[in-house]
Structure 1
């Protein structure tokens, strides 16, 4: 099959109102986000992010964290069908894990790459078909935003101010324009937003 050089790169992350992907307690501090991650709007959002994606691009921390959670969901017949569909996709899909320290992959159907995210995306776009999903790996998303390589952003915005913690959209990113293509609002005030990068032709 010929290489698909138009593979889109999608990125997904949950953020607080002050733009943080974790609280002041560090990466494990998800108090301002976790209660919104299992709402109907959030689960419908999760069901959409992997449609048409054939590669998962992950940072080391998320690859290891996902391994401890999602395979059990894939095997759980009592799990929400949307969660289980995403879990099965993640278990079965090709996974590329970016790491400078891992000697071997923590997942089946995965390979570890020690290279800049932009270089890895260039290689992925030159081989294979389907979209590439960067799911909840903020450092990878930031690197790709810095290189203007993200084509679609899926954001779950949670109606809380964390007051501390790391931000996705930090100073130093290039200025870019985005088009809102979908938005859904949940009963708790959470918003599932989908933005496409607005690029000029030529």
Structure 2
């Protein structure tokens, strides 16, 4: 069985909205409000080389598809199978090796296959749905020393429950903290 890993840039108050750009009032907060320290992003490179597939929601797909294929630093992601979970996306994906799946049942079936971990970037609604369906195995969080106050959150207040086990952590000079948690079942 393949594991599903949700990876997020997250503020101290749980917001994951628009970390690199987007519609949030403070969009790009990971780059504009916290000094860049290269070693804090080591986990991002590791994720790309270890993942066997990428899973995203429609909004993240629409944001990533025009940009990521042109970026050399995402070569592994561009080559690997990518799955968009959407009931509304009707056109065929233009991003290389991308398929549309329609439900969390389809995600559960994908998880039963062979291959490396399935990595989930962004996609707050999808991440919450995966967690509610007990499909998340691990969280990779880069916690930024910011309070954003509002925006999409990783854990929906009423639906969040469960226990996590810290399996890796590190603090960096810019105040970012890497926290890797396994879901305890």
Same fold, TM exceeding 0.5? yes
Q: Secondary structure at the match of 2:157?
A: coil
Distance 1:167 1:176, change over 3 A: same
Equivalence for 1:50: 48
Equivalence for 2:68: 70
| Unaligned ranges ≥5, structure 2 | none
Equivalence for 1:155: 141
Alpha-carbon contact 1:53-1:133 (below 8 Å) kept: yes
Residue pairs, 1:1-202, within 5 angstroms: 6-22=1-17, 27-29=22-24, 30-35=27-32, 36=34, 38-74=36-72, 84=73, 87-103=74-90, 104-115=92-103, 117=104, 119-199=105-185
Distance 1:27 1:37, change over 3 A: farther
Distance 1:130 1:31, change over 3 A: closer
| Unaligned ranges ≥5, structure 1 | 1-5, 75-83
Matches of 2:165 and 2:29, distance apart in 1: 27
Q: Which runs of 4+ in 1 moved over 6 A?
A: none
Let me know the Cα RMSD of the aligned residues: 2.0
Structure 1 length-normalised TM? 0.80
